[in-house]
């Protein structure tokens, strides 16, 4: 599981460490962010102390209305042993009482010049991505006309060679051999390549090639949302393959069901062109144009006309 520490926020955002430097190695365990307004009023019964705490203009205005005694008491209670940090937004001046309490307890205070809503949004997106469920799938991920297509199939079926042909046709490689997938939302899967093999393709008989070096920076992507899965399998004479495209298959990856198509492989079939057309057809379906359904309606209409005669 990914470990995120408070110090990582300093490296990734426009934040300044004001106090509590001894605690920058504290671990952040949840993507939820709390605004401790009700705790500053004195109600700590349901205080989510394990969350990153964010103090905006409203919380600070109320805090400054309190007596020095109450200010110290309330802020010391905010600074627990498990609180990963406190972020103060809008470039507001931080009271000395806050700085003293943070230094004493070792809870980092981070200062941001941004608006509160903007800080919450960016921090939440960052933490959600870090804590997203993840897995790895053997396959190739290619961006085809803006559609993230995950090509799967048994080893040696021709996934990498097909990806190479797709890159030559102007599409972009995301990952080969192993695709790391994280579920950033309840219906969204993002795929990327492991750092070790990023931008690399393995072609049997040729070896490892660097796609970006050979075809330029426009031939690769670092990550892509997976929208469509194509499974390549050796042609089975005994198996009946879909010839109309009316039936839709899905493959479940973690909690997300992704549309899937099975393409049989045998000599003479141009897989790159077939996959390219499959991606375009998938895109048309999302736009409301379904050739298979149109054909079925035409056929039904002709049958009905024949019965009337």
| Active-site residue list | 138, 159, 177, 243
* Cβ atoms 39, 60 nearer than 8 A: no
155 is in an annotated binding site: yes
Residues comprising the chain, all counted: 309
**156 appears as a binding residue in the annotation:** yes
Q: List, in sequence order, the alpha helices (H) in the chain.
A: 6-12, 37-40, 57-65, 68-78, 96-105, 116-131, 159-168, 211-215, 271-286, 291-308
- Give yes or no for a contact between 149 and 141, defined as CB atoms under 8 angstroms apart: yes
153 is in an annotated binding site: yes
Residues 6+ apart with CB under 8 A from 175: 140, 141, 191, 192, 193, 194, 197, 198
Do the annotations mark residue 157 as ligand-binding?
A: yes
Rounded Cα gap, residues 299 and 245, in angstroms: 15
Distance CA 200, CA 140 (A): 11
- Residue 240 assigned ligand-binding role: no
Give how far Cα 304 sits from Cα of 120, 135, 246, 296, Å: 60, 50, 20, 12
Say if residues 42 and 73 touch (Cβ distance below 8 Å): no
Q: How far is CA 222 from CA 40, 142, 182, 191, 267, in A?
A: 43, 11, 14, 9, 32
- The answer to whether the annotation marks 159 as part of a ligand binding site is yes
Q: Is 154 assigned a ligand-binding role in the annotation?
A: yes
Q: Which two tokens stand for residue 215?
A: 């075809």
- Which residues line the annotated binding site for ATP? 153-160
Which amino acids are annotated as binding site, given as ranges? 153-160, 202
Q: Which residues are annotated as a binding site for Mg(2+)?
A: 160, 202
């Amino acid at each position: 599981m990914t470990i995120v520490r408070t110090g990582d926020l300093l490296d990734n955002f426009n934040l300044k460490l004001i106090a509590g430097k001894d605690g920058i190695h504290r671990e952040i365990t949840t993507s939820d962010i709390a605004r401790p307004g009700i705790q500053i009023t004195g109600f700590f019964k349901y205080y989510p102390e394990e969350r990153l705490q964010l103090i905006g203009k409203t919380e600070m205005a109320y805090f400054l209305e309190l007596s020095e005694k109450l200010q110290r008491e309330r802020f010391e209670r905010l600074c627990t042993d498990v609180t990963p940090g406190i972020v103060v937004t809008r470039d507001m001046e931080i009271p000395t009482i806050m700085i003293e309490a943070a230094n004493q307890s070792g809870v980092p205070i981070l200062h941001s010049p941004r608006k509160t809503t903007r800080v919450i949004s960016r921090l939440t997106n960052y933490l959600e991505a870090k804590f997203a469920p993840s897995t790895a799938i053997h396959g190739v991920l290619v961006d085809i006309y803006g559609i993230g297509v995950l090509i799967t199939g048994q080893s040696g079926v021709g996934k990498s060679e097909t990806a190479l042909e797709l890159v030559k046709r102007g599409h972009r490689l995301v990952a080969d051999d192993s695709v790391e997938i994280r579920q950033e939302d309840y219906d969204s899967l993002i795929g990327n390549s492991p750092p070790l093999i990023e931008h690399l393709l393995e072609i049997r008989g040729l070896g490892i090639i660097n796609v970006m070096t050979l075809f330029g920076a426009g031939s690769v992507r670092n990550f892509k949302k997976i929208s469509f899965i194509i499974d390549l399998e050796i042609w089975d004479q005994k198996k009946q393959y879909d010839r109309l495209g009316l039936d839709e298959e899905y493959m479940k990856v973690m909690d997300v069901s992704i549309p899937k198509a099975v393409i049989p492989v045998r000599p003479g079939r141009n897989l790159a062109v077939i996959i390219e057309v499959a991606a375009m057809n998938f895109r048309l379906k999302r736009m409301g144009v379904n050739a298979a359904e149109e054909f079925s309606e035409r056929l039904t209409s002709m049958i009905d006309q024949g019965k009337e005669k």
